[in-house]
Structure formats: structure tokens, C-alpha cells
Amino acid sequence: MSRTSSLILGLFLGAVGLVSCGHGPAPTDAPKVVARRTLPQEALVPAVQPAAQWDFKPQGIVWTNAALAALEGHAQPLVKVTPADVTEYCPAYPEASPSRRRAFWVGLISALAGHESTWRPKVSGGDGRWHGLLQISPATAKGYGCRATSAEALKSGPANLSCGLRIMAETVPRDGVISRGRGGIAADWGPFVQQRKRDAMAEWTRGQSYCRD
């Protein structure tokens, strides 16, 4: 073997030795470790739920999600409107983001449900004329185009809330108020006509983070 060949062979064997000891480039057929982007745990769950008076109920989160879904769908007019009396209920509302506005409406109807049904989805009142969380009559539900139009259907919490928000999404923009002058929600729900109950609902919503400046 020539001197040049010996030198080349020596360099080659030295390179192999470095690789085997981990000091050289990894073999091309070695498995590659690919860094995986791990999402933070909070990204795997919905955004923080807005505070609602029914939060203590086992079905509370279901009702909140149903209300939020309605507010992102057929009840969007509620989110877009700024009622003339809204600062009585939510001082931060006029400048609030859409998500905070939706949170307010969820909080408000949860307070209304407390007065109407004490958060009992299966209850019927008015001698069997009104049903569910927001005590809606089948005739009213039909008149506003709700999907739930029977007593039994209105006893589903999510369906009842969806219907209630459909009604409010028509009456609040129509009258430009939540309750002033017995318009808006007060046109269909008595607690907004009664000052004591109206004040209690307004006091509660004003105290929530989504309504504070």
C-alpha cells in the first residue's frame, strides 16, 4: 500500500471512530427527533366561562355554553346593539368587546332565570302556560320562530335559553332598551317590570368583571 493510500485509510478510520463516540455527525439513517409544539393546557379547553348565577347547578356550564352559542348565532343582534339603558346594568358595555358583551347577556339571563324558575328547567308556571328556565309559553315561542314550541321542548334548558335569546334579539333592538319604559326584555318578562327584581338583577351584573370599567 502506498504512503498516500495509508494516509487516506487512516483519516477514514479516524472519522468513523469519532462518529461512533458521538463526536461527529450523526449517521444519515439515524431516527430523527422532531420537536413537537405542545399547546398550553388552557388551549385545550374553552375560554374562561362568564360568571352566571346558575354556576352552582350541575347543568350550569351546559346552559352557559348554550347561551353563548345562541349569542354567536341567531342572537347576534343582542351583541351588536347598545341599549339606551345598558349602563344601568353594565357600565362597561358600550366599550366592551363582543366576548364581554356576550358574557353580560349570559349573566343577565341567568339572573332572570333565577326569578322566573329558580333555575329549575322542568318547572311550569301560570297554571301550566309557561315552561322552563325562562318561563316561555309555546304560543310565544311559535310567534318568535323558536325551534322549541311545545311545553316538553321548552323544558330543555338549552332549548329554552336559545328561544329566550331569540326573543330578546328581536325586542331589544326593536325598542333600543333592555327594560326602560317596559320595552325590550320587559315587554315579555315580568321581573324586568318589577323594580325590586330589576334592581337586584342590575346590581348583580354591574358587579361582574365583564361589566366593570
CB-based burial of residue 27 (10 Å sphere; 0-12 exposed, 13-18 middle, 19+ buried)? exposed
Please indicate, yes or no, whether the overall pTM of this predicted structure exceeds 0.85: no
Q: What is the pLDDT of residue 126?
A: 93
CB-based burial of residue 133 (10 Å sphere; 0-12 exposed, 13-18 middle, 19+ buried)? buried
In degrees, rounded to 5, the angle at the alpha carbon of residue 10 between the alpha carbons of residues 6 and 12 is: 120
What ranges do the domains of the chain cover? Answer: 55-118+166-208
* Cell output for 190: 315580568
Tens digits of pLDDT across the chain (213 residues): 544 444 444 444 444 444 344 444 444 343 333 333 333 333 333 457 999 999 999 999 999 999 999 999 999 999 999 999 999 999 999 999 999 999 999 999 999 999 999 999 999 999 999 999 999 999 999 999 999 999 999 999 999 999 999 999 999 999 999 999 999 999 999 999 999 999 999 999 999 999 996
Q: What is the pLDDT of residue 28?
A: 39
d(CA 147, CA 154): 9
Q: What is the pLDDT of residue 48?
A: 73
Q: What is the pLDDT of residue 47?
A: 56
Could you give phi then psi for residue 147, rounded to 5 degrees? -75, -40
Q: Are 122 and 150 in contact (CB under 8 A)?
A: no
Which residues touch 64 (CB under 8 Å, ≥6 apart)?
49, 50, 52, 54, 55, 106, 110
Helix (H, G, I), strand (E, B) or coil at 120: coil
Q: Is the dihedral of CA 62, 64, 65, 67 positive or negative?
A: positive
* Cell output for 165: 335569546
